[in-house]
Homo-oligomer: A and B are copies of this chain.
Amino acid sequence: MKRSVEVEILVPFHDVDVVGIVWHGHYAKYFEIARCALLDSFDYNYDRMRASGYLWPLIDMRMRYIKPSLFGQKVRVRATLVEWESCLRIEYLVRDDATGVRLTKGESVQVAVRIGTNEMCPVSPDILFERLGMPKPS
């Protein structure tokens, strides 16, 4: 099973640097927009996470820049859930919407932390498996 969601983003002027390309740090925003759409797709976005008694802070993020994105360019960002048993590992791919040319790749890792105790969960909590409609590994 692979869960993937795509969102479209029109690169805004305020994301572009003096060289005329998207400043590298802004891809964290594009990734998050796609990640939230992915989490929405199984009804476990940030608000739901907190309501379920868990935060899921990022512990790792990586970005690889292949080609620049420009002001006004329409890009597609795909977020794919690739791991969920002990963490949420999500991969990202930003492509030019018209040509499909790959622009940026990335990955993020989140782990469940129980609200109150602040305790990190070595295995994802039951609620995630329920949302994903999958049995918890025994």
Binding site for B on A (CB under 8 A): 10, 12-14, 16-21, 23-26, 28-29, 32-33, 36, 45-47, 55, 57-65, 68, 71-72
Given contacts A60-B63, A62-B62, contact A25 B29 (CB under 8 A): yes
Chain B residues, Cβ within 8 Å of A33: 10, 12
Pick the contact of A14: B10, B17, B63, B71 (CB < 8 A): B17
Pick the contact of A32: B14, B19, B28, B68 (CB < 8 A): B14
How far is A18 from B14 in the complex, measured between Cα atoms in Å?
9
12 contacts between A and B (CB under 8 A): A10-B33, A14-B17, A14-B23, A14-B29, A17-B17, A21-B57, A25-B25, A25-B26, A25-B29, A47-B71, A47-B72, A60-B65
Chain B residues, Cβ within 8 Å of A46: 13, 18, 71
Contact check, A13 vs B36: say whether CB atoms are below 8 A apart.
yes
Secondary structure type dominating chain A contacts: mixed
Contact check, B58 vs A65: say whether CB atoms are below 8 A apart.
yes
How far is A47 from B13 in the complex, measured between Cα atoms in Å?
10
Say how far A57's CB is from chain B's closest CB, in angstroms. 7
Contact check, B24 vs A61: say whether CB atoms are below 8 A apart.
yes
